[in-house]
Amino acid sequence: MKTILAENILIKGTWEKDQVLTIENGVIANIETLSGSQTHREAFSTRVHNKIIPGFVDTQVNGGGGVMFNHAPTYQSIKTMAQAHRKFGTTTFFPTLITDDITTIESAAYAVSEAIESGHPSVEGIHFEGPHLSVEKKGVHLSKYIRPLTDKELATYTRKDLGKVMITLAPENTSCDVIRDLVNQGVIVALGHSNAPFEVVERAIEAGATGFTHLYNAMSPFTSREPGMVGAALLSNNTCGIIVDHQHLHPKAVELAFKTKGPSQLMLVTDAMAHVGADKDVIDFFDTHITRVGNKLTTPDGTLAGSCLDMHGAVINCVNYIGISLEEASLMASATPSAFMGINEKVGSIAVGQRANFVELSENNALAHVWQNGEVCV
C-alpha cells in the first residue's frame, strides 16, 4: 500500500486540492481530502506538486517505437508500442491492425490474446481498422486487401480472449444484418473509410454501430444536398474519434466538432505509426514507405499516412490551438474513449476502484511523469 498527496488533481472534471490517494495493488482504494492530522510529509509515500490528470486511453495505435503492428503482429511488438506511447502519457491502448490478409488478422488476434493473458497493463483489446472498407475512401489502405466480411474474419472478431474488440467498417459494403450480428456478439462497430450517403449511415447506426473513426477524414463529406457520413456523425449521439495534429484537420473543423459533440462524444486518437517514440523518419509500409517531414507523414505520392502524434501532443494541441480547456481535453483523452470501449470501470478517470494511472503536468502543461498501476514509469 502507498499513499500519495496530490496537491492539484483532476477528479470528475474538477480540480481538487490536497487529495490523499491510497493505492493498493495498483488500484485506487481511497480518496480523501487532506486533514490536519496528515500534514506531516512523513505521512505520505509521495507528495506531488504537479497537476495530475488521468492516464490517456488511445483507441487507434498502428505502431510506435519503430514497429508497425501490421508488419510484426506479435506480443513483442505490442510491448514495444506500449513502451513508446507510455512515454507520452498513454497508459491504455488498443493495438490497431489496418487492412491486411486473413493470416495477419489472425496473428494480430493471437498477439493481443497473449498480451491480455500475460496481464500487460496497457492492453485492453484490439482495433481492426478494415479490411471491410470503401476503396474510394481507402486512404493508405491497400485496395487488394479490401473485401467483404467472411466467416473466417467473423470467427476472429468474436473470439472471447481478445478483451474489447473494435472494428472500423464501411456501411455501404457491410449489411445491417452483419453489423447487428457483430454487435450482438460484443463487437464495437465504428464507421469510417466510407463513401456512404447519409441514409446508409443512419441505418448502420440503427443496426448498432456506435462510433466513427477519425471524424472528417476518409469519409463522405457534408454538402448541402448530401450530409454524408460527416453529417450523420455530427448529428448522432455516437462517439467520434478525431486526430488533432495540425495535419489531418483545419482547427475550425475541430472546433466545430467540439461545439457539436462536446467532450463526452469526441475522443482524441493518434492514428500513430511506427515513428512515435522512434528516431526513424522513414519506415517501410507494405510495398512502399512512409516519410516524416516535420510532424507530417506521407507516402511517396503525397498521401497522408497516419500520424506521428502522441496523446499528450493531442491534448496540448486542443488547449493551445483549439481553445478547449485542459479539463475537457483530458476527458477527451481518457474518460470518453474509456466509456466508448466499455472499460470505464477500470480506467479513464481518477476514482476509487480505478487503476492508478496518472499523467503529471508541470506548470506549462509539459509532461513531467507518467504513473501506471500506482508506479512512476516515466
271 is catalytic: yes
DSSP secondary structure letters along 278-342: S--SEEEETTEEEEEETTEEE-TT--B--B---HHHHHHHIIIII---HHHHHHHHTHHHHHHHT
Q: Is 111 annotated as a binding residue?
A: no
* Residue 270 grid coordinates: 493518434
d(CA 94, CA 222): 29
Instruction: Identify any residues that bridge with 32 across adjacent strands, giving them in sequence order.
Output: 20
Q: Is 289 annotated as a binding residue?
A: no
In which residue are the cell numbers 476503396 written? 135
Residue 56 near residue 312 (C-beta atoms within 8 A): yes
Phi, psi of 71 (to 5 degrees): -75, -30
Q: Is 43 annotated as a binding residue?
A: no
Q: Is 132 annotated as a binding residue?
A: no
Q: Which of 271, 284, 301, 310 is catalytic?
A: 271
Q: Is 140 annotated as a binding residue?
A: yes
* Residue 294 grid coordinates: 516535420
Q: Is 193 annotated as a binding residue?
A: yes
Find the DSSP H helices in the chain: 75-86, 102-117, 151-157, 176-184, 198-207, 228-235, 251-261, 311-317, 326-333, 335-341
Residue 79 near residue 121 (C-beta atoms within 8 A): no
Cβ neighbors of 48 (< 8 A, separation 6 or more) are 4, 5, 6, 7, 360
d(CA 359, CA 55): 5
Q: Is 305 annotated as a binding residue?
A: yes
Instruction: Identify any residues that bridge with 307 across adjacent strands, giving them in sequence order.
Output: 272
Q: Is 225 annotated as a binding residue?
A: yes
Q: Is 184 annotated as a binding residue?
A: no
C-alpha angle with apex 62: 150 to 309, nearest 5 degrees?
145
Q: Is 141 annotated as a binding residue?
A: no
Q: Is 114 annotated as a binding residue?
A: no
Cβ neighbors of 200 (< 8 A, separation 6 or more) are 171, 172
Question: Which residues are the active-site residues?
Answer: 271
Annotated binding-site residue numbers for Zn(2+): 129, 193, 214
Annotated binding-site residue numbers for substrate: 140, 217-218, 225, 248, 304-306
Annotated binding-site residue numbers: 129, 140, 193, 214, 217-218, 225, 248, 304-306
